[in-house]
Structure 1
Amino acid sequence: MKIRLVNQGVFTPIEDIEQAVYPPTEGFYWIDADVDDLAVLQPIFSLHELAVEDCLSEEEQRPKIEIHDHEGHYFIVINSIRFDDEEIFLRALNIFLGHHYIITVTKQKINELRALKPILLEEQVSRPDRFLYHLVDLVVDNYFLVGDRIEARIESLEEDILVHTKKSHLNEIIGLRSEILWLKKVLGPQKELIAKLNKKDLRLIDGELQKYFSDIYENAVKIAETFDTYRDLMGNLREAYQSSVANRANEIMRVFTALTTIFMPLTFITGIYGMNFDYIPGLHMHGGSYLLLSFMLFLGFGMFYIFRKKDWL
C-alpha cells in the first residue's frame, strides 16, 4: 500500500495511514492499495462492507457506481483492458472516492495508474474528483488502442486466409469472436457508469468537472459501436474462411478430375492390349511396344497441355 499527498500534481509520500483520515491543508490523499490492505483501510475510512466484499470477491464485477453518503464516499468499479498474446484481459479497478481522498484497489497491476502520474503533474491536479476524471479518461482511451490492435489482427487473419487457408485459422476466428462478444457484454454497463458520472447529481464531483465526462461518454459510445463492427467483421471472416476452404476443395477436385480424365484413354488402351487374344493389331509388330508407349505419352501430355491452356489445371 502506497499513500501519497497529491497537491498541484506533486506527490509527497506519507508513512502514517492515520494522517490520511483528516483533510490536508492543500491537495488530497491517494492511497494505492491491493485487496489485502482493505482489512486496514475499512475501519479507518468506514468503507462500506458490501463494497469491500465486492473488491474481495473472486467473481467478475460489472462496472458500476454505488453512492454511500452515510459513509461519505462513492464506490466505483471500472474495467481496464489489455490485449496480450492474442487474448483480451479485463482487470477490475475498484475506486473509493471521498471528500479529501481517493483509494484505488486492484488485484493486478493497472497500466493506467502508472500512466496517470505525468498527467496529474501537467494538469496540476489537487482534487480527488479531477484525479477520477483523468483516470477514467485513460481507461476508456486504452480501449481505442486495444481496438486498433484487434483490427490489425483481423486484417492479418483475412490476408492469411486469402493467401493460404489453414485449419488453425478457424480456431483463431472462433476464439477472437468469442472474446469480442464477451467484451461487448462489459461495454454496456461501463457506458452506463460513465453516463451516470456525466448526468447524475453527485456532490463529491464538481458540477463543472462533471460536464467533461460527456466527452468520455461519447468515446465509450464510439468504442461500443467499434466492437459491434468487429463482431460483424469476425462473422464475415468466418464466411471467408468457409468459402476459401470450399474453393480449395473445388481446386483439388478439379485437379483429380483432370488427372482421371487424362488416364482414362491410357487405361482404355492398356485394357485392350491386356486382353488374352492371339490377334490384336500391332501386338506382334517389331518395336510395337515402344510405338504404343510413345503414343500413350503423347496422348497424356497432349491432354495435359490442353487442360493447362484452358486453365483447368
Structure 2
Amino acid sequence: MFKNSRRLPILTKRRRKKPGSAPGTVEHIGEQRLDDIQLTIHDYDEDHLDEIHIEDVEESRPYLENPSKTWIKVCGLHDIEKLKSIWSYFDLHPLVQEDIVNTTQRPKAEAYENNMYFVVKMLSWSGEKQQIESEQVSLVLSNTYVLSFQETDREFFQPILDRLKFGNVRIRKNGVDYLMYALIDAIVDHYFSVLEQIGDRIEQLEEQLLDDPDQEVLHDIHALRRDLIFFRKSVWPLRDVLNATIRDETSFIDDNTKLFLRDVYDHMVQIIDNIENYRDMVLSMHDMYMSHVSNKMNEVMKVLTIIATIFIPLTFIAGIYGMNFDPAASPYNMPELQWYWGYPVAMASMAVIAIIMIFYFRRKGWF
C-alpha cells in the first residue's frame, strides 16, 4: 500500500507575500532547504572547462571578462543579503529578484534589456515519500553567461556537467543560449521519469482493484489524482513559454537554438497528453471502485433478501401456531394444538418449505 494515502494535499501548501507589498519587494517565500548559499562557476569554450567553487560573486569577474561562456550556479534562496550582492553585481531587475525567491511562481519567460528570465519547475519522484517533489529553478540568460538559481544543491543537472567534460560536443561549441536550452531540456527529461513512476502506480492500483479493493485503495486513488493535478499545473504553462520563446524575436536566442527548443516543445506536448490520459485512467479507476462497492452491496442485499424471503412462510406458520388461545374455550377448534404429532409435523413442514424455496432460487440463478 502506498505511503502517501493520508498525506496532506500538495495543493494546500501555499504561501504569498503580504497583501499590499510594493512591486519588487524581495521576500523569500518557501522552505529553507540549505544552510548556506553555494556558488559554482562553470567556465568553458571549445578548448577548456573550469569548475570553481567561490564564496563571493566578485570572484567571477575574470571569467566574465573573458570571451568564454560562463555558467554560474547558485544553490539556496534563503539568504536575501547574499543574493542581493549577486543581483546587484549582474544588475538584475527588481521584478526578477522578487520572482527568484518566490518559489510559488508558475513557469514563465520575461525579456528585459540586458537578459531574459525563465522560471521552470523541477519535478522529481521521491521513492521514500512516494510522491512528487517540486523545486523552482530560475534561469537568467545574457549574451555571455547563464545564471541558475535553485532551492537545493541536488545535482539534477549532472548530465549537462558530464557533457561539458567532453571537448568535441555541441554544448561546448555553441553559445550560452544553447546551455540554457540544455538546462531546460534536462528538467523536461525528469518529467518523463515522473510519468513512468505514476504509470507504475496506476498499474499497481488497477491490480488491487481487480482483486479485493478496500478503503485504502480509494485513499491512494485520491492521492494519485492530487499528484496529477499538481503535475499538470506545474508543467502546463511551460508549453506556452516555449512556444512564445520560439516565436519571439530576441537577440539572446539564435535561430539554431530555437530549433532545439522546438524539440523540447514537442516533448512538452507529449507529456501533457500523457498527463491527461493518466487523469482519465484515474477517474475510471474511481468509477471502477465505486462500481465494485455497489456490486458488493448488491450481493449482500441479495443474500439478505433471500434469507428474509425464506423465513417469511416459516414465520407465518410459527405465528399461526404461536397464538395464545385456549382451544377448549374458543368456538373455533384448532385440533393441531392438541395433536400429539403437531409440533414435529409443523417443524417438518417448515424444513420442507425452506428446502423447496432454496431449490427454486437456485434454479432461477439468484444465488
Partner of 2:140: 96
How far apart, in 2, do the equivalents of 1:145 and 1:310 lie? Answer: 53
How far apart, in 2, do the equivalents of 1:214 and 1:311 lie? Answer: 62
**1:112-131 maps to which residues of 2 (within 5 A)?**
112-122=156-166, 123=169, 125-126=171-172, 127-131=175-179
**1:253-264 maps to which residues of 2 (within 5 A)?**
253-264=301-312
Question: How many residues are paired up?
Answer: 310
* Residues 76-108 of structure 1: per-residue CA shift (max 9 Å, x gap): 101112344454443211112233322211224
How far apart, in 2, do the equivalents of 1:38 and 1:309 lie? Answer: 81
| Corresponding residue to 1:219 among 246, 267, 272 | 267
**1:33-52 maps to which residues of 2 (within 5 A)?**
33-35=75-77, 36=79, 37-52=82-97
Bigger shift: 289-298 or 262-271?
A: 289-298
Q: TM-score, normalised by structure 2?
A: 0.73
What's the offset of the Cα at 1:272?
2.0
How far apart, in 2, do the equivalents of 1:134 and 1:101 lie? Answer: 14
**1:196-215 maps to which residues of 2 (within 5 A)?**
196-215=244-263
Look up the SS of the partner of 1:104 in the other structure. strand
Q: Does the 8 Å contact 1:94/1:105 carry over to 2?
A: yes
Q: Does the 8 Å contact 1:77/1:94 carry over to 2?
A: yes
Q: Does the 8 Å contact 1:33/1:103 carry over to 2?
A: no
Q: Does the 8 Å contact 1:165/1:241 carry over to 2?
A: yes
RMSD: 2.9
How far apart, in 2, do the equivalents of 1:23 and 1:98 lie? Answer: 13
How far apart, in 2, do the equivalents of 1:294 and 1:224 lie? Answer: 70
- For 2:91, the aligned partner's letter is S
| Corresponding residue to 1:31 among 69, 73, 78 | 73
Look up the SS of the partner of 1:143 in the other structure. helix
Q: Does the 8 Å contact 2:68/2:144 carry over to 1?
A: no
Q: Does the 8 Å contact 1:28/1:128 carry over to 2?
A: yes
Partner of 2:25: none
| Corresponding residue to 1:176 among 192, 201, 224 | 224
**1:45-124 maps to which residues of 2 (within 5 A)?**
45-57=90-102, 60-69=104-113, 72-84=114-126, 85-110=129-154, 112-122=156-166, 123=169
Give % identity: 27
- For 1:117, the aligned partner's letter is L
Structure 1, unmatched stretches of 5+, are none
Q: Does the 8 Å contact 1:51/1:75 carry over to 2?
A: yes
* Residues 91-135 of structure 1: per-residue CA shift (max 9 Å, x gap): 211112233322211224555224432243354733433322222
What's the offset of the Cα at 1:141?
1.8
* Residues 264-309 of structure 1: per-residue CA shift (max 9 Å, x gap): 1221221122123436455455565445434434543553454345
* 2:323 is the alignment partner of 1:275: yes
How far apart, in 1, do the equivalents of 2:153 and 2:350 lie? Answer: 74
Look up the SS of the partner of 2:156 in the other structure. helix
Q: Does the 8 Å contact 1:273/1:280 carry over to 2?
A: no
Look up the SS of the partner of 1:3 in the other structure. strand
How far apart, in 2, do the equivalents of 1:156 and 1:103 lie? Answer: 41
What's the offset of the Cα at 1:257?
0.6
Partner of 2:357: 303
- For 1:55, the aligned partner's letter is I
What's the offset of the Cα at 1:258?
0.6
Q: Does the 8 Å contact 1:266/1:296 carry over to 2?
A: yes
Higher-helix-fraction structure:
1
Q: Does the 8 Å contact 1:6/1:27 carry over to 2?
A: yes
Structure 2, unmatched stretches of 5+, are 1-37, 328-332
Partner of 2:15: none
* Residues 142-197 of structure 1: per-residue CA shift (max 9 Å, x gap): 22222222233233334433433434444443443344334434433210112234
How far apart, in 2, do the equivalents of 1:24 and 1:306 lie? Answer: 95
- For 2:87, the aligned partner's letter is Q
* Residues 202-253 of structure 1: per-residue CA shift (max 9 Å, x gap): 3233432221111110011111122222232233333323322322222221
